[in-house]
């Protein structure tokens, strides 16, 4: 089977056990990818009954990053539900369950204890602070590490239809203060929280100190946008005809993950 993004991140983490950035990147991939969670039986409405692996006094849910890998482990008739890694972590809040990832079927096989799942969940639920500041001047972005640029690009590559594009610039604010700004152009209102979260996670999982980058939203007719386009680094978001027709995975609403029996 072709190497998956999770395989690549896992290999990098294992090759450099003391590299915090590599470890963060693995957990970022875990949060972003679709995981196939093995069940005891087909879901009943919004209730699921995951298969639990008992190992050395701990319990783990069995998850795979490809449906073929789940079938290889459990057989073609294995029941499953497909959820993002972040939804699996949210679903396990308050439960002493870890995640057994790709067991026996892939080089990225790993046991993640409940403490690791709790850390991932807490990291993903960190909220950015909201402030008001007026931009005095827009500058070319400087001094940001390459891993942050890559992380932003990868995050926004999954933000289909949420905004027209984004620009990364340096900014000076009225009253003092300088920093960097990730400016989204023509973002749909209901996607703004998700875009802020994506930018925040790009910072967190790159190992960059929080607060190193602000996020803003602009209409394409705003005069500031012309300045952004002259000096900024552009990120293109995938586009689609309409977000309303996007199919929802079971448990896809982060506010209401499936209920475990």
Tens-digit pLDDT profile for residues 19-68 = 988 899 899 999 989 999 999 999 888 889 999 999 989 999 999 999 99
What residue spans define the domains of the chain? Answer: 5-125, 135-236
The Cα–Cα gap between 166 and 152 comes to 10
pTM as predicted: 0.70
User: pLDDT grade, residue 128 (50/70/90)?
Assistant: low
Mean pLDDT for 120-144 is 82
Share of the chain above pLDDT 70, in %: 87
Nearest in space to 198 (alpha carbons), one of 110, 128, 99, 93: 128
Give backbone dihedrals phi and psi of 217, rounded to 5 degrees, phi first: -125, 130
Count of helices and strands (H, E) across the chain: 8, 13
- The region, left, alpha or beta by phi > 0 then psi within -120 to 50, assigned to residue 104 is left
Question: What pairs with residue 135 in β-bridges?
Answer: 173
CATH class as words, domain 135-236: alpha beta
Alpha-helix residue ranges (DSSP H) falling in the chain: 5-15, 20-32, 67-74, 85-91, 114-124, 146-156, 192-204, 223-231
The mean-pLDDT minimum among 8-12, 184-188, 208-212, 219-223 falls in: 208-212
Task: Give the tens place of pLDDT for each residue, 95-123.
Answer: 999 999 999 999 999 999 999 999 999 88
> Over the chain, what is the mean pLDDT?
87
Task: List the structure tokens of 89.
Answer: 């972590």
Asked whether the predicted pLDDT for residue 73 surpasses 90, the reply is: yes
**Which band of pLDDT confidence, cut at 50, 70 and 90, is reported for residue 144?**
confident
Determine the pLDDT at residue 248: 41
């Amino acid at each position: 089977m072709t190497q998956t993004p999770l395989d690549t991140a896992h290999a990098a983490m294992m090759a450099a056990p003391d590299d915090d950035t590599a470890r963060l990147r693995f957990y970022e991939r875990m949060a972003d990818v679709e995981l196939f969670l093995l069940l005891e039986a087909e879901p009943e409405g919004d209730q699921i009954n995951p298969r639990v692996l008992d190992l050395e006094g701990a319990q783990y849910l069995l998850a795979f990053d490809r449906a073929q890998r789940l079938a290889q482990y459990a057989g073609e008739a294995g029941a499953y539900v497909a959820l993002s890694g972040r939804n699996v972590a949210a679903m396990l809040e308050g439960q002493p369950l870890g995640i057994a990832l790709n067991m026996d079927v892939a080089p990225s096989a790993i046991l993640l204890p409940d403490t690791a799942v709790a850390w991932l969940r807490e990291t993903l639920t960190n909220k950015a602070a909201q402030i008001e500041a007026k931009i005095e001047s827009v500058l070319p972005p400087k001094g940001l590490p390459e891993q942050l640029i890559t992380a932003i690009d990868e995050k926004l590559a999954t933000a289909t239809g949420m905004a027209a594009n984004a620009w990364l610039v340096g900014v000076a604010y009225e009253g003092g203060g300088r920093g960097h700004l990730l400016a989204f152009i023509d973002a749909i209102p209901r996607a703004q929280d998700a875009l802020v979260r994506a930018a925040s996670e790009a910072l967190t999982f790159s190992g960059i100190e929080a607060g190193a980058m602000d996020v803003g939203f602009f209409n394409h007719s705003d005069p500031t946008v012309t300045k952004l386009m002259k000096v900024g680094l552009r990120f293109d978001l995938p586009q689609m005809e309409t977000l309303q027709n996007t199919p929802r995975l079971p448990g896809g609403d982060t506010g209401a993950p499936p209920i475990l029996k």
